[in-house]
Structure 1
Amino acid sequence: MALDARDTGPDPRATARTGPLPGSRTGGSQTHPRPQEDPEGALPHLAALETPGAGGRPRHVCGDLGLSIDRDGVWHYQGSPIGRKEMMCLFASVLHRADDGTYWMVTPAEVGRVEVADVPFLAVEMFVHSCGADQCLSFRTNCDEVVTVDEAHPLRIETDGRTGEPLPYVTVRDGLDARLTRSVYYDLVSRGVEEERGGERRFGVWSRNRFFSLGTLDPDED
């Protein structure tokens, strides 16, 4: 299937889940040469391939599909942004992260590589229920998945090596993360409280009776 990045052409709903993937030979128009069966030794790293695909047959590894996700969470095909949100969300629903940190679209028939600039999703909205330790924080991603912060879906803060600014992330599913947009991060910080943790003053938020640290506080601060 040759994917048109614009909102044209057939709806890929039926084929995206069961194969073929964009750029694979079985989809008709060929835009990428089909690589070897196991490009760059991918199989040992992709846990999803440990089980057979459709009909008990092993999945075919297509290699690079020409698909990528930029830092703003926008999907691209051969360098052009994919305009249809439905298509973007459909592709995201079959996205997996391998043990070596690479990203792959996995259907019952085939597997193909997706290049990701940072993380696959953005957290674009926050929902808050209750307060204190009973508080429940949830985020909606740019693909309209809603994830609630808990032990299995933790918050974490990294530091941008170029700017020194905080980079907040939440785990969505299966090792796939979303980065909080700036406005959502500010909303999160507004819910922060101080707690004593391991002899340190920590600033963070509660969700589902678990405290998630956003950073340490200077002991000299009032």
Structure 2
Amino acid sequence: MTDTPSKSGLEGVIAAAKQAPGRGLPPVHLWNPTHCGDIDIVIKKDGLWFHEGTPIGREALVRLFSTVLRKDPDGFHLVTPVEKMRITVEDAPFIAVRVDKVGDTLKFLTNVGDEVEAGPENEIRVEMDPATGEPRPYLHVRRGLEALIARPVFYELVELAQERETPDGPRLGVSSNGAWFPVGPAGAHVL
């Protein structure tokens, strides 16, 4: 059993996240602390984390915070066994910065070091911006948390895509771990 951190605020988050180094992610989905308010942390659309308007430059600290991030119906929170503090996320909390095709599996790497295999439990979805028509592709990472797929990585997916007939007509899509994900209309990769 772990000791409950005695620190509060940002120090408490750091202490809670450090409790299980090398043992995987903390079980934030099992913790039900009282909401303690908001903390001035913002995850920008480009995946950069800011605290009180200043970029958090230490990658290890961002990784640490990412392990205690949870998405609840009322927003994104950093969670410890004794505290729950809401933060601001402008789009998705993570960015998928790399993809590798290994056999029939697409393996992604996020900007915070998560390795994710696309499949039935970690779906790829693409939203289209109604104003510009530009795609916004996402990958489910864990428990409702998603990564925006970086543009160069999305281009790699489009190159891997194959056309398939769907109820909505022909679509381009990629397969991974037995699941198929549409990534765009047929012919989108032909210039």
Q: Name the TM-score class by shorter chain.
A: 0.7 to 0.9
Tell me the alpha carbon deviations over residues 29-74 of structure 1, each in whole angstroms, 9 at most, x when there is no partner.
xxxxxxxxxxxxxxxxxxx68x665xxxxx2322111111001111
Gaps of 5+ in 1: 1-14, 28-47, 54-58
- Say how many residue pairs are matched: 171
1:216 is matched with 185
Task: Tell me: CA distance 1:199–1:77, structure 2 relative to 1, closer, same or farther (3 Å).
Answer: closer
1:76 aligns with 2:58: no
Structure 1 runs of 4+ off > 3 angstroms? Answer: none
CA distance in 2, matches of 1:161, 1:200: 20
Task: Tell me: CA distance 1:118–1:52, structure 2 relative to 1, closer, same or farther (3 Å).
Answer: closer
CA distance in 1, matches of 2:53, 2:168: 50
Measure how far apart 1:22 and its partner are.
1.8
Match of 1:108 among 81, 88, 99: 81
Task: Tell me: CA distance 1:78–1:202, structure 2 relative to 1, closer, same or farther (3 Å).
Answer: same
Identity %: 35
1:119 is matched with 92
Structure number with the higher strand fraction is 2
Tell me the alpha carbon deviations over residues 102-155 of structure 1, each in whole angstroms, 9 at most, x when there is no partner.
10011011010010000100000101112xxxx100110000101000011000
TM-score, length of structure 1 as denominator length: 0.70
Gaps of 5+ in 2: 16-27
Match of 1:170 among 116, 139, 151: 139
Kindly name which structure, 1 or 2, has the bigger radius of gyration based on alpha carbons: 1
CA RMSD after TM alignment: 2.5
- Say if 2:120 and 2:178, in contact at 8 Å, map to a contact too: no
Task: Tell me: CA distance 1:52–1:72, structure 2 relative to 1, closer, same or farther (3 Å).
Answer: closer
1:181 aligns with 2:154: no
